[in-house]
Amino acid sequence: MKEELVAGTRGSALALAQTESVIDLLKRRNKGLSVRTQIIKTSGDDLHRKPNSKLTGKDSFTREIDFALIKGEIDFAVHSLKDVPVEKTAGLQSKKLEIAAFPKRESPYDVLIPKNKDSKLESLRENARVGTSSLRRGIQLKLIRPDLEIVEIHGNVPTRIKKMCDGENENLDAIVLAEAGLKRLNIKYDSRNVISRKVMLPAVGQGCLAVTVRSKDYKSTRIIKSIDDKKTRLCVTAERSFSKELGGGCNTPIAALATFNRGRIRLEGLIVGESKMTGGIKSKFVIRNAKEGKPKGAQNLGRKLAQHLKAMSK
């Protein structure tokens, strides 16, 4: 019998591209599977339509989709892991939902997109204006280029690029975007402008997708688990444990990246103290460190690194 599932997703170009990548992978692993996509508008989408709108919670980009999943309107949801709070959301808290798969991670790194295609981070003019919606990115940029003016800019990936290129009241010299999003949207960029992890640690879970199902929907769970990547799951477990221990959410300047190193997990983390973007990037301190551990102890590794950085900040 031919199996059919309904996938829930946001309607942005990136969200749809991510969902298509998941569907393609599912079909390769499950012969005869049919998947239909259902677009669901979330409260967080207002941020992209209205420049002055504010997020209505840490699960703003996932809440409505997860509720549709709980009600059985869809069979699984595809989220950017960065949008999934480390604190349990309503559905996860009641154990009605679970993340059944973390597909293999795309690039976790950030990329500088300059208006002048020949520019590099080090060659941007003095006091150049760089656009980003991320306090994490802004703070790390200022560490290596204190002269830069960080400009808060919102919108989906194509919108941000258009704002810079068209000069829509921004007069930006460059913007910083996630490499994973550029790859998934097939947007060309100069690979030499990928920012090294030594310069900029990414957001927790950057480049990763989370595929959520109803906990007792055994058929969907079985199918979705076929695309779970073990190494990705272990790495994001460490990163999200680090963030949770620090009380972090999508608007908190926390950075972390876990990678495999000779059979062990190496977790690098960064925390910032008393920081803000409005009125210019300011931070009392920036602390960065790393720890290694066995894969089976990924969750504990994240917790230990967070505790270590908190102790260093005192």
DSSP code per residue over 108-155? --EEEEESSTT--GGGSPTT-EEEES-HHHHHHHHHH-TTPEEEE--S
What is the dotted CATH code of the domain comprising 110-193?
Answer: 3.40.190.10
Given a cut of 80, whether residue 252 has pLDDT beyond it is: no
- pLDDT (0 to 100) of residue 54: 47
Confidence class for position 164, pLDDT limits 50, 70, 90: confident
Q: Do 119 and 174 meet the contact criterion of CB atoms below 8 Å apart?
A: yes
Catalytic residue among 45, 66, 75, 83: 83
Verify whether residue 166 is a known catalytic residue: no
| The two three-digit tokens of residue 147, written as one number | 């002269």
Given a cut of 90, whether residue 158 has pLDDT beyond it is: no
Q: Which of 38, 33, 101 is nearest to 65 (CA)?
A: 38
Q: What is the pLDDT of residues 8-64, one digit of tens each?
A: 999 999 999 999 999 999 999 999 999 999 999 988 776 554 544 444 456 888 989
- Structural domain boundaries in the chain: 1-105+208-228, 110-193, 230-314
Q: Which residues contact 278 (CB under 8 A, 6 or more apart)?
A: 152
Confidence class for position 3, pLDDT limits 50, 70, 90: confident
Q: Assess whether the region 1-105+208-228 and the region 230-314 belong to the same CATH fold.
A: no
- pLDDT (0 to 100) of residue 221: 97
Q: Which of 51, 203, 209, 207 is nearest to 137 (CA)?
A: 203
Element of type H or E holding 176: strand 174-178
Distance CA 134, CA 277 (A): 9
CATH class (in words) of the domain with range 230-314? alpha beta
Confidence class for position 110, pLDDT limits 50, 70, 90: very high
- For domain 1-105+208-228, give the fold: D-Maltodextrin-Binding Protein; domain 2 (3.40.190)
Distance CA 295, CA 282 (A): 36
Mean pLDDT confidence for 169-188: 92
- pLDDT (0 to 100) of residue 154: 85
Side-chain half-sphere exposure of 159, counting CA atoms within 13 A: 14
123: buried, middle or exposed (CB in 10 Å: 19+, 13-18, 0-12)? Answer: exposed
Confidence class for position 88, pLDDT limits 50, 70, 90: low
Q: What residues form DSSP beta bridges with 9? A: 39
Given a cut of 70, whether residue 91 has pLDDT beyond it is: no
DSSP string computed for 73-119: S-SEEEEEGGGS-SS--HHHHTTSEEEEE-PPP----EEEEESSTT-
- pLDDT (0 to 100) of residue 55: 46
Q: What residues form DSSP beta bridges with 214? A: 97
Q: Which of 82-86, 196-200, 249-253, 305-309 has the lowest mean pLDDT?
A: 249-253
